[in-house]
Chain A
Amino acid sequence: MTEAMQLLIGTRKGAWIFRSDAARARWRIEGPLFLGQIINHFRVDPRDGRTMLMAATTGHLGPTILRSTDGGKSWTEAKRPPAFPKGDKLGRAVNHSFWLEPGHADEPGVWWAGTSPPGLFRSADGGESWESVAGLNEHPMVAEWLPPDGGTPDGAILNQVVLDPRDARHIYLATCSAGVLESLDQGGSWTPLNKNVRCDFLPDPYPEFGQDSHFIALAPADPDRLWQQNHCGIYRLDRPGEVWDRVGEAMPKEVGDIGFTVVPHVRDRESAYVFPMDGTEVWPRVSPGGRPAVYRTRDGGASWERKDSGFPAQQGWFTVKRQAFCGDACDPMGLYLGTTGGEVWMSDDEGESFRQVAAHLPEIYSVTAAPAP
């Protein structure tokens, strides 16, 4: 069954909210919100359905967190945004918050943030004030794991905070320079989780850390199943195992298995979706061959099928960034993606077909889907 959805869209020039009817057929657009602000991530708290946070900055100004507690009707600024301690021995200062994660269901009001340069921050008051998580930010290995000047062209990033829905103490991080890190004590201590994940840009192609983990996701139907879209391929890991399997080897060779993100199916642990990009030569990071497509596996990554109905058949040079591909919990599951060309596309039939919902937005950084209030 389907229900009215809202898409929270963060762009390089502000934010928009798209709200649908119950069939997800028609969409009403609200915005722009904070026109001109760089919105890296825009989330709603699933625990109350009303609290919304945006990770905001501008070209000139320092970063902040924008908060709404009434579903986006009114907004205020966090009293104390994420910031490293004064006198930080690495001299770090938050350039921007990149990832916002509502905390565990058992911890109302808790949020997590990942920043650039890489840092982990926690709020216990719904995003109003943030504390540096010393267990990571002061870790003895932090300069090696998360060098502030390392990483991607847009700066070194703590890409993602992922929580185990069964255990508030169990946290995964996806990072641009230490791959995946895991904590079993809610951020007090961390261990790399990168066995068999390739680094084709380092002398040792399978180091303990050094990987660029673009995105990880726990299968909602089985949180022991992790999917990873890495800089060097698509991987799967079934816990308590520790050795990743490069399931992207089964992708068509002419497409490859490079991309920014992966979306597990909401009910089927064997199914997941990726949006491949061209990772050859100088890394164009656009749809291979100018033919955009989602690829879907229904067998845990053993095989992948191309799903491109509705997308341009040629000259479609889409780039879909880390936070700009997501699904909903409806049946059939909806899929949503935003492009750096300002287009929003959706599927209401689990990837069998896609249609354009919007065009002409600024460069899209994030798309998240949640039930509409």
Chain B
Amino acid sequence: MIRVLIPSQLTAYTDGVTRVPAAGATVDEVLKDLDARFPGIRFRVVDEQDRVRRHMRIFVGLEETRAVSRPLSDGDELLIFGALSGG
């Protein structure tokens, strides 16, 4: 089981919940698992070429990844953040 932190920008999909469990052996599998339960959430984080969107950041624990192929281990924490400046 992977613990996922949902940022405020995406809680409209999770009915306000900010921490959800998910399954998957890679970042992509976890995002697809989330998308199955919260339809549309993945495309707002990752584009159609599987690139993490410019102003989104994904961490596995303390380590940032831009590759959705990044392997995960049971018990990992996946943190999704929105990172944007300006008005």
Q: Measuring CB to CB, which residues of chain A are less than 8 angstroms from any residue of chain B?
A: 58-62, 64, 77-79, 81, 83-88, 91-94
Contact = CB atoms under 8 A, between A and B. Distances in A.
The prevalent SS among residues of A at the interface is loop
B49 A62 contact: no
Nearest to B86: A59
A239 B73 CA distance: 64
Nearest to A132: B48
Contact of B40 (A58, A77, A92): A77
A13 B11 CA distance: 18
Given A59-B55, A83-B48, A93-B49, A64 B43 contact: yes
Nearest to B46: A62
Contacts, number: 56
B48 A60 contact: no
The prevalent SS among residues of B at the interface is loop
A187 B37 CA distance: 35
Contacts of B10: 61
Interface of B: 7, 9-10, 39-40, 43-51, 53, 55-56, 82-84, 86
A91 B49 contact: yes
Contacts of B7: 60
Nearest to B56: A60
A117 B43 CA distance: 16
A88 B44 contact: no
B48 A61 contact: no
A81 B43 contact: yes
A83 B47 CA distance: 8
A297 to B, nearest CB: 38
Contacts of A58: 9
Nearest to B81: A60
A83 B43 CA distance: 9
Contacts of A64: 40, 43-44
B39 A79 contact: yes
B50 A86 contact: yes
B48 A84 contact: yes
B47 A60 contact: no
